[in-house]
Amino acid sequence: MSINFYGLQRMVTQTHEMQISLSDGTRVDHVLEAVQERFPKLPLQRKDLLITVNDKVSTVDQMLKERDKVSLLPHIGGG
Amino acid sequence: MHIHNSIPYEPAITRGGYTDRVLHVDLSTSEIDIWEMPPDHKDKYVGGRGYALALMWEKTGAETRHDSPENLVVMASGPLCGDPRFPGSGKFIVGTISPLTNTFIDSNIGGHFGPLLKRCGFDALAVSGLSPDGEKVLHIDGDRGTIRIIDAPVFGEGIDAGGLTYGESLLKALNDDELNEHSAVVTTGKGAENARFGIVNSLFFDRRRNRLRAKQAGRGGTGTVMRRKGLKAVVVQTRQAATRANQPVDAKKVKEAGAQLKKVLSRMDPTQLQLGSWGTTILVEYMNKFHILPVRNYQSGQDPEAEKLFADIFLKEYFSRKIPDGCFSGCNLACAKGAEDVTLTRGPWAGEKVGIDGPEYETIGAVTAMGIFDPQFVMEYNWYCDEYGLDTISTGVTMAFLMECWQRGYLTKTDTGYDLSWGNVMSADRLLHETANGTGLGAICGEGVARTREWVAKRHSDRTGAPREDVQNELKSFAMEVKGLEFSMYSTKESLAQQGGYGFALKGPQHDEAWLIFIDQVHKELPTFEMKAEALKWFPLIRTWFNAVGLCKLPWIDVRHPDAASTANPAQNTPTLKYYVNYLNATTGSKKTLQDVLDDSERLYHLQKMINLRQGKGTRISDQIPLRAMGPVFINEYEERSEYYDEWLKEQTGQKLLPASVEERLKMLIELRKDAYQKLCDSVYLAKGYTTDGVPLPETLERFGLLDDRAAELLSEYGLGWVDDRRLSN
């Protein structure tokens, strides 16, 4: 599965996405831990983030499948 | 310099956020007078757009049009405008009867003008009349205690035509060739004279950049009305200290509320949208991701080329970094990004280096609506629209509509004079300048989408023999306007709530009343019609309150408080709203709750609705949106997003197997979407206290003290109200 990076995240990661190999029972929060370990400077406070899996809002305990795309988005309220 | 009138005056002392004075200028007679507002006026109308609405209700009528002498241009701040201890307090509104919609429009705008107008002693400026003898400048000098109407100084052909360049020359001329933070000016350019969607520029001096910066009241043609009146500019100046601007009842609590909000902004924005770093350009990437970007006249919500216009590009190639970018002091969100020394490559100023304020998301969106993904074009389009005094949104949407008419064969080269294919930068640039000059195809474009649609229908009908009404109906499906105003830059095909956010917006489809796309489309937090209706009642009330008090809403709506997640409705961000209520009470001495604030705003909402009703834009038919706002109009749109549409149809119909042909599926989808929108209308009118035709019930107006004789008479035209103590039907 892959994590997509947006905006400032990309400035920190210097890449659009990160691939992660899944093992049985991998959940979203496991992926968040892996991302944080790889990019310690990336701000990933969970309550500040909207987590989507395949563009649908998700929770940290959602189980992931191969080919899933996880995004960590800010809340957007509109100007 | 010829002075038409000049009066001495003593600037009023602000108390609790108000001066209780409105400055009135009649350009027909050059009369200047100062209206003392009665004590209860502010209790009922709050300020800002509320003051503008009250004036419009009282002093204009159903027959008033944008160029009628009695039409007013109102520039009004509000009780919370002008205190740098609280973030985002530099806003004011420009309100008038719009040349596009024939009803009330207000557009909010940042910069120093609103705060300085208040420090000059006025809660609002109201300009009526039409100058009989050339263009005028209004000069309000709080230091000298004079208000003058003068002939607009002449600086040379190029400068005189421009909103930005003229404003700078004027300020220098009136200030011994100096620019400073004690004076500000509002202007517009020649485009506002030739198009219905002229803007008002608010120019203010930025000491750090050592240049004038500009913010815009962009929507609805406020600048066009200014030019029709013969008002070229308004200058305000005073050296009174900003900290004395509001004379709040409890300065300590003002500081406390401001400090709390500033802390949230500085802590949370860097982990959320990062508006302080990117400005609203950051939205391009997210809108593209969720199919909301209005690409090629809102046909596609996404495009592979959109990444050429992501925030990274503007930050890397254009934005000046490491300069705080607030449009008024004290705002630590500081989202007003800008660029220095950008060399223009096109148009009459080609080769010149200019400072550019922006682009905002909306301007970039407008360029994608033309199928263009060229950042340099975005920058130049941004600057020229500001200089000419054109709304980047309405300009872009009308140009995009013409392009689609060309692409689909409704127009030929005989009609347009040149190729209008998607993405044709040369043609888009040409059309922009023609629009500003009122020449060629630009003379049509400057009329806006609704009137351009009629012109296209006539041309096509004359050429092909097709019945004009049939052509009109075809064009209506993708002419992106409601009530005569062009859509702002969000594709709503996948959010019914935002379709309503645009359709019910009293001024026309601008997102400042309701922006519900994310909580509806992405978060799926509004699954029922009733929930959508409730959101379509609540959000417009709180969002438009900011326009009544003189504040920017971005610190509330785009930076979520850390405690919001644990509230019943995180999207409302109520922990931050508490700071605003505290700021209000500390400034004015009131003891209001959030519900009181919503009630105040609801009174203004219904008053605006009544003006719409009076102007013929207040019933259900005026809230109808084009088909493209509901879903795909043409097969190519369906096919681009077929996976989503197929899934949606299966959910709605319970059918596992859909019709084989895309044509049949599209037809089915259109019928379902149309039906859903009508159901939404029913739910929303019920929630707002209106009839099924969208007319306010008498008891709704009565609850807010709005059922005066004029309102009762107007309602009686719709069979509502009381006559001879007898309740009429509904």
A15: CATH: 3.10.20.30
Give A32's contacts (C-beta < 8 A, 6+ positions apart): A44, A46, A60, A72
Q: Three-state SS for B105?
A: strand
A40 touches chain B (CB under 8 A): no
pLDDT of residue B287: 96
Shortest Cα–Cα distance, B15 to chain A (Å): 31
Phi, psi for residue B75 in degrees, rounded to 5? -120, 115
CA neighbor of B301 nearest in space, from B6, B471, B498, B118: B498
Residues B661 and B502: their CA atoms lie apart, in Å, by 31
pLDDT of residue B253: 98
What share of chain B has pLDDT > 70, as a percent?
98
Amino acid symbol at B52: A
Interface test with A, best of B109, B272, B293, B553 (most A CBs within 10 A): B272
Q: Name the residue with tokens 């035709």.
A: B693
**Alpha helices by DSSP H, B622-708:** 627-630, 635-640, 642-653, 662-688, 698-703
Whether B518 and B498 have beta carbons less than 8 Å apart is answered as no
Q: Three-state SS for B71?
A: coil
Give B583's contacts (C-beta < 8 A, 6+ positions apart): B80, B86, B254, B257, B258, B261
What share of chain B has pLDDT > 90, as a percent?
91
Amino acid symbol at B356: I
Residue length of chain A: 79
Q: What is the pLDDT of residues B284-323, one digit of tens each?
A: 999 999 999 999 999 999 999 999 999 999 999 999 766 7
B180 touches chain A (CB under 8 A): no
pLDDT of residue B727: 55
Q: Quote the strand ranges of chain A, DSSP E.
A: 2-4, 17-19, 49-53, 56-57, 69-74
DSSP class of residue B7 equals: E
Whether B676 and B664 have beta carbons less than 8 Å apart is answered as no
pLDDT at residue B730 above 90? no
**Alpha helices by DSSP H, B187-342:** 190-194, 222-229, 251-268, 275-278, 283-289, 295-298, 311-317
pLDDT of residue A4: 93
Residues B721 and B84: their CA atoms lie apart, in Å, by 46
A32 domain residue, yes or no:
yes
pLDDT of residue B278: 86
A64 domain residue, yes or no:
yes
Q: What is the pLDDT of residues B552-567, one digit of tens each?
A: 999 999 999 999 989 9
Letter string b/e over residues B397-414, b meaning 16 or more CB atoms within 10 A of that residue's CB: bbbbbbbbbbbeebbeee
Q: Which two tokens stand for residue B544?
A: 């438009």
A79 domain residue, yes or no:
no
Minimal-distance CA residue of chain B relative to A49: B272
CATH number of the domain at B3-240, please? 3.60.9.10
pLDDT at residue B539 above 70? yes
| DSSP code string of B602-623 | HHHHHHHHHHHHHTT--SGGGG
B313 touches chain A (CB under 8 A): no
CA angle, B557 as apex, B292 and B53 as ends, to 5°? 95
Helix%, strand%, coil% for chain A, nearest 5:
25, 25, 45
Distances (CA, A) of B130 to B48, B61, B127, B186, B226: 23, 17, 9, 18, 9
Letter string b/e over residues B682-691, b meaning 16 or more CB atoms within 10 A of that residue's CB: ebbbebbbbb
A55 domain residue, yes or no:
yes
B272 touches chain A (CB under 8 A): yes
Q: What is the pLDDT of residues B497-531, one digit of tens each?
A: 999 999 999 999 999 899 999 899 988 889 999 99
Residue length of chain B: 730
ipTM: 0.93
Task: Report the interhelical angle of B468-476 vs B449-464 (nearest 10°).
Answer: 140
Shortest Cα–Cα distance, B477 to chain A (Å): 26
Q: Three-state SS for B142?
A: coil
Residues B125 and B73: their CA atoms lie apart, in Å, by 8
Show me where the domains of chain B are located: 3-240, 273-486, 496-559+593-693
Q: Quote the strand ranges of B281-439, DSSP E.
A: 338-343, 353-357
Average pLDDT value over all residues in chain B: 95
How confident is the model over A27-37, as a mean pLDDT?
92
Minimal-distance CA residue of chain A relative to B558: A77
Q: What is the pLDDT of residues B684-694, one digit of tens each?
A: 999 999 999 99
Radius of gyration (Cα) for chain A, nearest Å? 12
B573 touches chain A (CB under 8 A): yes
Chain A contact set for B285 (CB, 8 A): 6-7
Chain B contact set for A8 (CB, 8 A): 270, 274, 277-278
Residues B92 and B219: their CA atoms lie apart, in Å, by 14
A47 touches chain B (CB under 8 A): yes
How confident is the model over A58-76, as a mean pLDDT?
90
A19 domain residue, yes or no:
yes
Reported confidence tier of residue A11, pLDDT bands at 50, 70, 90: confident
Of B275-279, B441-445, B648-652, B724-728, the one with minimum mean pLDDT is B724-728
Residues B609 and B103: their CA atoms lie apart, in Å, by 10
Amino acid symbol at B441: L
A50 touches chain B (CB under 8 A): yes
The domain of A39 spans 2-74
A29 domain residue, yes or no:
yes
- The fold adopted by the segment(s) B273-486 is 1.10.569
pLDDT at residue B722 above 70? no
Distances (CA, A) of A68 to B210, B302, B349: 50, 20, 50
A41 domain residue, yes or no:
yes
pLDDT of residue B271: 85
Shortest Cα–Cα distance, A78 to chain B (Å): 6
Q: What is the pLDDT of residues B118-173, one digit of tens each?
A: 999 999 999 999 999 999 999 999 999 999 999 999 999 899 999 999 999 999 99
pTM summary value: 0.96
**Alpha helices by DSSP H, B235-374:** 251-268, 275-278, 283-289, 295-298, 311-317, 361-369
How many domains, in total, are found in chain A? 1
How confident is the model over B482-493, as a mean pLDDT?
98
DSSP class of residue B354 equals: E
pLDDT of residue B322: 67
Q: Three-state SS for B5?
A: strand
Shortest Cα–Cα distance, B224 to chain A (Å): 24
Give B618's contacts (C-beta < 8 A, 6+ positions apart): B609, B610, B611, B612, B694, B695
Domain B496-559+593-693's class? mainly alpha
pLDDT at residue B724 above 70? no
Phi, psi for residue B728 in degrees, rounded to 5? -80, 170
Residues B245 and B121: their CA atoms lie apart, in Å, by 9
